[in-house]
Amino acid sequence: MTEKIILASGSPFRKAMLAHAGLDIEAVPADVDERALEAPLEGVSPEDVASILAEAKATEVSERRPGALVLGCDQTLSLGDEVFHKPADMESARRHLLALSGKTHQLNSAAVLCRNGEVLWRHVGVASLTMRQLDPAFIGRHLARVGAKALSSVGAYQIEGEGIQLFEKIEGDYFTIVGLPLLPVLAKLRELGAIDG
**DSSP tag of 65:** S
Which among 157, 137, 159, 134 has a CA at the least distance from the CA of 147? 157
Active site residue 89: no
- 3-state DSSP helix/strand/coil % of the chain, to nearest 5: 45, 25, 30
Tell me how far apart the alpha carbons of residues 105 and 45 are, in angstroms, rounded to a whole number.
14
Kindly name the residue from 74, 81, 89, 196 that is annotated as catalytic.
Answer: 74
Q: Annotated active-site positions, please?
A: 74
